[in-house]
Structure 1
């Protein structure tokens, strides 16, 4: 049976509100550092100071700078006791606050002469200089990046508290390229993703691929249009509830949102550009809610050219940054070459006709 879109499309804001209704932030879980990258940090204990005491930053002689005033090769300072040698990383001996190079000390039997002055802290890593006392390993609500992992490892941690939504992707045969696009994005964002291929394009096969609702979000890729072989929405209706099919969003008009029990479901179109637009406009806000992520940053730049949009439908725009301005690459339809070049994106609300050239606009970065 051929699917039909409703005569009036569901506004983007309405579909998003319905999708966000209900899900609360997920409970944090402890993950090994090797799996935490890209996840959203939850509350983590504050780190202790590192190093915990002054240590040598270089190999050399440990001395007290105040005892070396005036020392030079022309006026050597005779030491009454031999200085202590330290290797980089060794704890500084009591009373010492600088490390001099090997050639700054001249040894002759039991005698030692200092040939250079020192300053407090020279060649020394001060206590807390790498990690200040009570530093968080990662800011709660922010993605775990390489810097957070560096701090965690330096502090001797092997696990981190994060929120990581579980995402199940069901691919409808014929949309494999798009499925890989979305799966790659999901993995880069640190989500726990499972991909499944429907046995065929009929509703029964797609519904069977839904599997048990052991996930926090279910995506279908492909089969959401109005063609005779597009049965993803029928499958969702058989297993769960269709909230809206046909959105006032371009690209992405044939997308749908629904629920499988309590699990939110988003049906993505099979076209890469349309699927990516729906991912950004609908799925990303839901993932941010589940992850308790802090609001994403936007970058404001003037437009290098005007953006024309139709009233009544939200249009997605791809942008490239050139000469400190946003250059519109694609509006409403996203060819692959525009996706590859894009630095940012924005949504023109359905109530707007677009933006004039030179107008400052806020855009989300494609890659943070």
Structure 2
């Protein structure tokens, strides 16, 4: 992000404009480190992984039965051995010969087909006949060596976030670890004299601090290390000191509250002392006020999110998460979007993007439908609790009629 974006002043930015400016807020991803396999869950690969072996290593049986070369010129086959998973048959099969075989066992040389147990008859000792031979196809019920991953081929690309399937794949290659980007360290604090820690007595004008815990959940789901600075009062010097120290300790600093134009909102003024500030008014609901910039000599990225709890979560997902993904080594990451039909009319206003909290389902015809989760005020946190998606209504739409298509962003999508 260049300083030109700070010269935009109070002009209302579109969501797309804000996201374009933020694309330059960080340069290189975080440093690379080696990590053992058991600790890789949620990490992002810094280097591509190529397979050192074929997976599977051997051509093997996909089910129990007999292995043989097909077609066979004789009606009755000689059973000349048995192959179990983990074992081998030590010679090639000749015409008219078969071996019994279990799922996963390597096929003997000369065999190319497996016939399942249910299709076999045994007329005498050491003999087997195939019932309904017209149904047998050469190569059936066989897993070819390297059919999943061939030796030397790309198994996982750099930038892959490692989940359960990816960890299983690495293990199947015999790898004991991988090189990944360091986890981001993110400092967070809430601000405001009215903000009260859960468990403390609540004053008549106080509110409990929900935002910090929502942020912790979002950051931990992404695999970040959280530096929790607690609740700071509406005091300029206190906030300046906290921002200065956080810039040294963290890879990103996030606050909630104190970024609007209220008389007691100190974040904007404090940032001018510690770093460089962009104060944006974004054409969206919820979450219009958003401060961003750099802190300290190391130019640590900073986000000042709104004070209302739903606005905190929505702005995090739209603006903070993409920047964190770049730090983690996923520069091209975008939230997954689906198209659904509105199950009821949706209110919105031309000139801003509305993010409604919704829940979706499929009907009997396979069509996807979505409806909002009740009242949509930016302070109604239950609207997020009940939601499994955000309904993204574009800035050029004056409401959405029942049955019209809308765009969904899936919540809890941390792949």
Q: Does 1:46 find its partner at 2:19?
A: no
> 1:49 is paired with a residue of what secondary structure?
coil
Q: Does 1:24 find its partner at 2:27?
A: yes
Q: Does 1:327 find its partner at 2:360?
A: no
Q: CA-to-partner distance for each residue in 1:169-225, whole Å, 9 max, x for gaps?
A: 3212636432222222222223x3222214632333333333244544321133435
Counterpart residue number, 1:3: none
**TM-score relative to the length of structure 1:** 0.77
> 2:228 is paired with a residue of what secondary structure?
strand
Question: Which piece of structure 1 moves more, 120-129 or 342-351?
Answer: 120-129
In structure 2, C-alpha distance between the alignment counterparts of 1:56 and 1:185, rounded to whole Å: 45
Counterpart residue number, 2:346: 307
Would the aligned equivalents of 1:304 and 1:358 in 2 still touch at CA under 8 Å?
yes
Would the aligned equivalents of 2:335 and 2:410 in 1 still touch at CA under 8 Å?
no
Q: CA-to-partner distance for each residue in 1:315-360, whole Å, 9 max, x for gaps?
A: 2222221332122335563622221222222443445433333222
Q: Does 1:256 find its partner at 2:291?
A: yes
Aligned CA distance change for structure 1 residues 206 and 35 (closer, same or farther; 3 Å):
farther
How much is the aligned-residue C-alpha RMSD, in angstroms? 3.8
Of 364, 377, 385 in structure 2, the residue corresponding to residue 340 of structure 1 is 385
Q: Does 1:366 find its partner at 2:411?
A: yes
In structure 1, C-alpha distance between the alignment counterparts of 2:60 and 2:377, rounded to whole Å: 59
Unaligned runs of 5+ in 2: 1-8, 103-116, 196-207
Of 90, 95, 98 in structure 1, the residue corresponding to residue 92 of structure 2 is 95
1:98-113 counterparts in 2 under 5 A? 99-100=99-100, 113=126
Question: Which piece of structure 1 moves more, 153-162 or 225-234?
Answer: 225-234
1:19-168 counterparts in 2 under 5 A? 19-26=22-29, 29=32, 30-47=34-51, 48-55=53-60, 69-71=74-76, 83=81, 85-95=82-92, 99-100=99-100, 113-117=126-130, 125-163=143-181, 166-168=184-186
Counterpart residue number, 1:182: 215
- Deviation of 1:292 (Å): 1.9
In structure 2, C-alpha distance between the alignment counterparts of 1:68 and 1:52, rounded to whole Å: 31
Aligned CA distance change for structure 1 residues 347 and 286 (closer, same or farther; 3 Å):
farther
Unaligned runs of 5+ in 1: 1-5, 72-76
Would the aligned equivalents of 2:78 and 2:98 in 1 still touch at CA under 8 Å?
no
Would the aligned equivalents of 1:62 and 1:92 in 2 still touch at CA under 8 Å?
no
Aligned CA distance change for structure 1 residues 235 and 132 (closer, same or farther; 3 Å):
same
In structure 1, C-alpha distance between the alignment counterparts of 2:149 and 2:209, rounded to whole Å: 46
> 1:172 is paired with a residue of what secondary structure?
strand
Aligned CA distance change for structure 1 residues 311 and 122 (closer, same or farther; 3 Å):
closer
In structure 2, C-alpha distance between the alignment counterparts of 1:235 and 1:310, rounded to whole Å: 34
Aligned CA distance change for structure 1 residues 69 and 162 (closer, same or farther; 3 Å):
farther
- Deviation of 1:249 (Å): 2.9
Aligned CA distance change for structure 1 residues 355 and 39 (closer, same or farther; 3 Å):
farther
- Deviation of 1:145 (Å): 2.2
Of 340, 349, 355 in structure 2, the residue corresponding to residue 316 of structure 1 is 355
Would the aligned equivalents of 2:220 and 2:226 in 1 still touch at CA under 8 Å?
no
Counterpart residue number, 2:6: none
Would the aligned equivalents of 1:50 and 1:155 in 2 still touch at CA under 8 Å?
yes
Aligned CA distance change for structure 1 residues 105 and 186 (closer, same or farther; 3 Å):
same
Q: How many residues align?
A: 350
Counterpart residue number, 1:193: 225
In structure 2, C-alpha distance between the alignment counterparts of 1:92 and 1:282, rounded to whole Å: 60
In structure 1, C-alpha distance between the alignment counterparts of 2:402 and 2:381, rounded to whole Å: 25
Counterpart residue number, 1:244: 279
Would the aligned equivalents of 1:172 and 1:206 in 2 still touch at CA under 8 Å?
no
